[in-house]
Structure 1
Amino acid sequence: MKYFFGFVTLFSLTFIACKHEPDPEPTYKLVWSDEFEYTGLPDSTRWTYEVGFIRNREAQYYQPKRLENSKVENGHLIITALKDNFQSHPISSASVISKGKQDFMYGKVEVRAKMPDGKGAWPAIWTLGKNRDVVGWPACGEIDIMEWLGFAPQFVFGSLHKAGADGKDAPLISISPTITDLSTAFHTYTLEWDREQIRIFVDEFNYAIYKASDMTAAEWQQFTKPHYLLLNLAIGGTSGGTIDDTKFPFIFTVDYVRYYKKE
């Protein structure tokens, strides 16, 4: 996630609709999920946490196992960013991840979520290669199923980050059509991933297609290994931009996470 665009490059992106005649629908079987039908901290058999200041010069400190920042209630995972100076860190938030709990490779990942409201918020639903600790980023590969930026609230982004021939990030970034209620209604964000391509959807609209045939073998190889899932709410940083302090608390709400494999 992250690492890629700021105010200038954001609006230089060109939207290309990828709506095609539908292919025959594959048959999927649900193999893992969290419906958040419980109360308290995220289920420790499914999730763990990032901790600290992690990336992109973001303002938040990610706190683990703190109900004020990540809790489950009323059928939802609620990730909250607070300007609370907790443990002497001005802003607290959470990054809830499946690392060491559940891997993802091929199949379909579906997450229904509602965005925060206000400039400076930068929530994301994304994956990183399980081998990140060995090969580093971006060589581990990254799939951004959804990123949302508070200063451009009518769009979401679906992207790949990969190491190019020089080892540096060689991103592929797509922007959704205009959606006016991302902060007031739930929408479904979907990744479909197989041996030949990665497709990213908002609701049923396929706005990003990344094909193995359009990359070098070394680049696509980064997407032929297991990944883990991240659900996080960043604040500010290289893409989040200027923070509107009047909007705290920022709240990112997830209704469910589902992982399907082809039968």
Structure 2
Amino acid sequence: MPALSTSLLTLSLFLATASATIPAMSGYHVVWSDDFNGAQGVGVDHSKWNQIVGRTGNNRELEVYTSGTDNVRLSGDGQLYIIPTKSGSTWNSGRLESITSQSCTSGGAMVFQAEIWVPNFTGSPAQFAGLWPAFWTKGQNYRSSGVGWPKCGEWDIFEVTDKLSNKNQGTLHFANPDGTPSRNGAFKGRVTYAGGQYHTWAFKVDRRNSDWTQQKLTWYLDGTTFYSVTGAQIGGFTLWTELAYNPYYIILNMAIGGRHPGNPTSSTVSGFAASMRVKYVAIYKSD
């Protein structure tokens, strides 16, 4: 795996680009991306993104996702801003889901990657209580075939809250073959990062080994592995296909409150200081 780790580090730091701001990766090509280039204050490219509206009903969260540019807009200098806002007791925010979904080709590898800035949660500051920015995925069968969660599968690539302080948690969510979620959330790994800075977060599906038990899912922070799971660890081929063979789509959102971060308080800030900022998102596949 050193070669891929090196290529991911190059992806974060090297000067080569696949397009305006999408970094190149040796041995891979870009199959989908967004560099968020556009005029200041305009919305995202809706040929690439579904902008979710309303409440999702997930995790007892408080936010209402909106359709306009108050909560989701371009910066004008090649960034996406997802900005939570508060009006009275109502929290509004933004959630984007990629229209594309991608699967890893048999015998190949695939990387989902984004460069992201979030507020500095180090020390669990009260001003960021209840904020929950995330870069994650769901299996395409959730929205195309009505397969419920967690059987559809979920990769949590980057999700942080004030309760996690300066740690990100990468997690797999899935279901047993009978549909029970008894192993849901059993696989998770944390990494310490410097808050209030841009970092490159990546998730790789690697099916280049013909033995499915040796195939691997890997999480990266700035090109360095911080967690990985093999087919052997999952322990069942059906479960592994849910996680490594099926197509997945990208989600970028700023949730507010709920079971995991806890609810915001009177000290929680809203607006730009509480925003999630994304320089690019890209999906790569091996050549």
Q: Scaled by the length of structure 1, what TM-score is found?
A: 0.84
Secondary structure of 2:232's aligned partner: helix
Equivalent positions of 1:15-94 (< 5 A) are 22-23=2-3, 27-39=27-39, 40-54=42-56, 55-64=58-67, 66-73=68-75, 74-85=77-88, 90-94=90-94
Structure 1 position 253 matched with structure 2 position 277: yes
Q: State the AA in 2 paired with 1:226.
A: P
The answer to whether the 8 A contact 1:174-1:207 is kept is: no
Structure 1 position 217 matched with structure 2 position 237: yes
Q: List runs of 5+ in structure 2 lacking aligned partners.
A: 8-25, 105-109, 121-127, 208-214
Structure 1 position 186 matched with structure 2 position 198: yes
Q: List runs of 5+ in structure 1 lacking aligned partners.
A: 1-20
- Which residue does 1:10 correspond to in 2? none
Residue number among 196, 220, 227 corresponding to 1:201 in the alignment? 220
| Displaced runs of 4 or more, over 6 A | none
Equivalent positions of 1:114-133 (< 5 A) are 114-117=117-120, 118-133=128-143
CA RMSD of aligned residues (A): 1.8
Q: Deviations over 1:140-189 (max 9, x none)?
A: 1001111111222310011110002452332234333322x32x210000
More helix by share: 2
Q: Deviations over 1:196-240 (max 9, x none)?
A: 221011112211111112221221121211111100000110101
Q: Scaled by the length of structure 2, what TM-score is found?
A: 0.77
Structure of greater Rg? 2
